[in-house]
Structure 1
Amino acid sequence: MATPEESLFCPITFELFTDPVLAQDGHTYERQAIEEWIRQHGTSPITRQSLSLEYLYPNILVRQLIDSFEQSTRNKNYQFTLGIDVKKRESQPFIQTFGKSIYRAQWLPTNRGRPEIILLKIEGTRARKEASFYVDLSRHPYIVRTFGLVYDTENNRNDNSVMLLQEYAPEGNLFHKLQDCSTVIYEEVFIEIFLQIIDAMAYLTHNNVIHGDLACRNVLVFRFDASNPRNNHVKLTDFGISRNTQLYSMEPVAAQTRINIVPIRYAAPEILSSDVTYHAYTEKSDIYSMGVLMWEAYKRGEIPWSYISDDEEVIRHVRSGQHLLQPPNCIFDNAYHFRGRSNLNIMFI
């Protein structure tokens, strides 16, 4: 049987349980997810043994753990203190880029009955919203879960940054996953991943949030299968960390940070204009970047416009209307319809 720590998230949906049930294989699942799985496959998604809908039982222990965890975060108003509620596992981040550091973290006093977590520190910014807003915004199956904001009382006076407490992605990001995968990836797998990202984008747009930095590095992988589309699950992260954001405000004294750097090789032409304003960042510019992300995925993490070393030359190419060439493994010419969801138009010129 899975341990309490492993049982907080459904192994199918990768979401915190709402109605956990115990199956014949000894593992706990979200009821709706495992019922659908059994109807389609008839076997366990973990052990492959036969499963029956008749033998699904409520997991009261896991339900109590979830209730306790959710209640504790609400009691904290989704605001945690570093060194009291959570701590960094190491003093140095395991990922660090422009204005962003990610630390492995753990709950205090114990991780027992709690999900695995990381601390995302964004330099040169302040949170614009209440902590509960960030939590509620992340309640989507394809958006990385945020549990709240973390405050460092020792450095709070001089530290112009915001720290988010987020779930840990066991498979890393899509960029590294695609580069490390040595087998052929079926195109249907790419399509499934793209549709999950688009679901997340549509949700953000509905909530008036522009991502601003769509790229494979900002897609976290929770389950990956190069041959089975349905056995893949990704989540979008780093949304709203851009110039035009309703989530964070840039500190005027901040040095160059992630929030004021334009991702040139992924940006839409209007973003690359010399007189660009914050208003240029829209859902349309995100759609353009989504196309570049798809190209990057098909090319297994190749840098867009990799044959051009000068970013200024890339800007001239994009602003003049030139496009990335269609990858040879992208066999669909115009559009495709997959798993009954909305049509997704792809065009590489």
Structure 2
Amino acid sequence: MVAEEEYEEHFDQWRWKKRSILFELPYWKDMPVRYNIDVMHVEKNVSDALLSTLMGSAKSKDGLKERKDLEDMGIRSNLHTETRGKRIYLPPAAYWLSKEEKSICKRLSKFRGTDGYCANISNCVSLNPPSIGSMKSHDHHVLMHNLLPVALRGLLPKGTRNAVTRVFNFFNKLCQRSIDPEKLIYLESEFVETMCELERFFPPCLFDIMFHLPIHLAREARLGGHVHFRWMYPFERYMKTLKAYVKNYARPEACMAEGYLAGECIAVCLEFLQNSVPVEETLKRNEDVEPDELILEGRPLRKPIKVTLSEKERDISHRYVLLNTSVMEPYLA
């Protein structure tokens, strides 16, 4: 009994007792959502950690120190380090992409998105050695939702691949424009199962606070509404506009305030003079070309690649276009 009391006294010395000053507000304890987790940064950090671990890059969560931790905990003996002469060998893990499976870089290097869909992801991909890095938050967003689930098909063992794909599907369903509130309850419990599956294959050091925060995202969506009304993408884009006002880097805040005020004044003047003085509007995107050369679908990112189809591929493409044309709907019914 005395030993337990001494242990509790010793534990109280190191217990985290920090309490936010916001709890002094009378209404703070009754608020159902006291904070708003930013989905943009959570997506970016989760995608970056998973992708680095799969590719075995410098930011990977699986290295020598992590393997030593497994030895100290006495788990996953098949991943413990092996000493061969003067070198330490790390056995391959189920979540490592082999040299053949890193052909995913070749697939992503040939990706060409539509105008305004995303950045040129191929610039972030290296083929020799195969690596993926230096991507922005929106690049990770597009990569998680649309590209990686397709690129990972047939790669990795089935259990590891299904666990990673379930993480991507969770963020994809969470960021939809229309969400059923009842499905969000199921989505929250489903992600807990997904985390349990990830823990079966990935090292424990992967599961930091960023892998804990998505558990609360479904509940926040039920209470706070759609994700795209609460994430940081609009503010980050507007920060780019404000940073363009900076001319004197010794006084960035003053430059932003002066540029914002000048823009507001010009907007008021244009609204006042729009019926009296004709003002030439700025050309919109893709309107700086001749009318005969107007590109309705946006500019291509690079020079097009000529592909010659065989007769079978041409027939398949022709049949696909016909079956997906509204003119053919009466005949298909």
Q: TM-score range by the shorter chain?
A: under 0.3
Q: Normalized against structure 1, the TM-score is what?
A: 0.23
TM-score (norm 2): 0.24
Which structure ranks higher in relative contact order (CA pairs < 8 Å, sequence separation ≥ 6)?
2
- Pair member with larger Rg: 2
Q: Which has the higher strand share?
A: 1
